[in-house]
Structure 1
Amino acid sequence: MKDLKFDTKAIREGYRTTQEQEHSEAIFLTSSFVFDSAEQAANRFSKEEPGNIYARFTNPTVDAFEKKLAALEDADACVATSSGMAAIFASIMALVESGDHIVASRNMFGTSIVLLNTIVSKFNVDISYVDLGDLSQWQDAVQDNTKLFLLETPSNPLGEVVDITALSKISKANNILLAVDNAILSPALQNPIKLGADVVIHSATKYIDGQGRCLAGAVLASEAIIEKVSAFTRSTGPSLSAFNAWIVLKGLDTLSLRMKAH
């Protein structure tokens, strides 16, 4: 559906109806799934055969949300999480290792700063902070062990911005991944991957839901990057529930209309 317009993708992308032919996406409220045989179970656990196993790993309703959001962000793949902060933490832990260095915007959401300073730093990861819109500060902060640029644009709550395309040129020249939190504008108004970002992070709690009903998050990137993020979430458990996935799915239906109305 790459050639379809945004509003069409927001309605049609990502979901296959069941044999019941429901009009609205079904909510699969289940912790686990059954198998036709022990052999099928073994093949699914070994990833030799696709299929659902356990809701911490995959769920059809969550999968529908991931596929739809990936289409709207022009991303290869997506993994949904239980909150925006879970998405940020999963991204960081999947993409950096002990001894690495992160350059982050000092204009980010306060809890993101707390996460970096009090949790991520415990893993022997160094963090440098720069002014979001000053490209020279990003360049000057680069070290031999810098692996990630992390930012929000527009920032929350100050609304400061950076030229993503210009910053991506710096990150790519230094073999650094660029991760952009797109929660404020949403894919209705900004597609960071099209502008050169490697990773897009969402707090779907905000405008994707848009009505204050649930917590949800997402990470979008290439298949290779999402495989790393998914490996982290499978083992640590910040999975999005089927019910909350359904809520943010319904939020995507009207996202474009609501963002235009803002």
Structure 2
Amino acid sequence: MRTVTATRYVTPLRDGGSLPAIIAADDAGMYVLKFRGAGQGPQALIAELIGGGIARALDLPIPELVFIEVDDELARTEPDPEIQDLIRASTGLNLGLDYLPGAVTFDALATPPDADLASRIVWFDAYVSNVDRTPRNANLMTWHRRLWLIDHGAALYFHHDWTDWAERSRRAFVPIRDHVLLPWADRLADVDAELAARLTPERITGIVADVPDAWLLPDPLFANALAQRAAYVEYLVRRIQTPRDFVEEAIRARAALV
């Protein structure tokens, strides 16, 4: 992944619970910056990074992810004390997504999604346990007539409490029944084997390797960051093994709609 440096705070995105912001960077690009010092902490950035890496591995449409270096000087010209504090709490390495100018919130009624793409996105969200792709908050954008996935900070919620993480890796994802694209996802069984085959242990290990050590919070279950990183890999590898209950649950949930 590339690393850029934030040079200008442009505007907050107050629709997001963690108060992300549009920033300008030293590569002349514009990015949506996710702050490490936000209330959800670095684990939201880990979920965003791993979720985004998996989405890319599955060829799903997601804006480019970059690391963003933030200096506390960025807060000097910001008048809002809350944002000043957030910037100062996030000094160092943060995460950003390429800003999609002119993108609009996805409206399934106005533009029904393609069944194949809908099935792939539902499969992906069930795999990473993403609770935040519902009709109330779809986290999908339309840009240049194409669907784009954003905001995976609520995925992988198991890492907020590592108790029984190995056992939980095999569980179905019941909240998939609330997925905004589930009504159109009628090819889940067809795409299952292909998507699972893309997520080899080597591919998953490479994705998790991108997580900075500084984002891995100390946990009594792990001796060090290396052990915690290995647990992420094992969780994701175990989850992809057959039988995949998360796929069967999604198929059942889809059948209950028709």
Q: TM-score, length-normalised on structure 2?
A: 0.26
| Higher RCO structure, 1 or 2 (CA under 8 Å, sep 6+) | 1
